[in-house]
Amino acid sequence: MKRRREAAEAFTKGARQELADKELAEAKMLEEWLPAAPADAEIRAAVRAAIAAGAKDVGQVMGKVMPQFKGRADGKVINQIVREELASPV
């Protein structure tokens, strides 16, 4: 999925919209077969649990949370939530 989105973005930047549309259509077909992505609330709860367990920086939290969501959630989304939670006052 990630490769399809990246390819579509590259084709769009390269003024090849027909190829970008093809990649997006294929990504949409693949989404039907993949397991549903976890809700942000589920990811946020896991991140908070990792922080409560003693993880103090992004790397430590990601190391604890990523195995739980491997193949189900985009690492960028998880990273964004980790950063938000670490930046928020407790």
Q: What is the DSSP string of the chain?
A: -HHHHHHHHHHHHTT-HHHHHHHHHHHHHHHTTSPPPPPHHHHHHHHHHHHHTT--SHHHHHHHHHHHHTTTS-HHHHHHHHHHHHHS--
Burial of 8 (C-beta count, 10 Å sphere; 0-12/13-18/19+): buried
The 10s digit of each residue's pLDDT in 6-42 is 898 999 988 999 899 999 898 888 777 777 778 889 9
- Position 34 scores a pLDDT of 74
Q: Are 49 and 26 in contact (CB under 8 A)?
A: no
Kindly indicate the confidence band of residue 70, based on its pLDDT and cuts at 50, 70 and 90: confident
Percent of the chain with pLDDT over 70: 98
- Say which residue, 39 or 62, is predicted with more confidence: 62
Kindly indicate the confidence band of residue 47, based on its pLDDT and cuts at 50, 70 and 90: very high
Kindly indicate the confidence band of residue 73, based on its pLDDT and cuts at 50, 70 and 90: confident
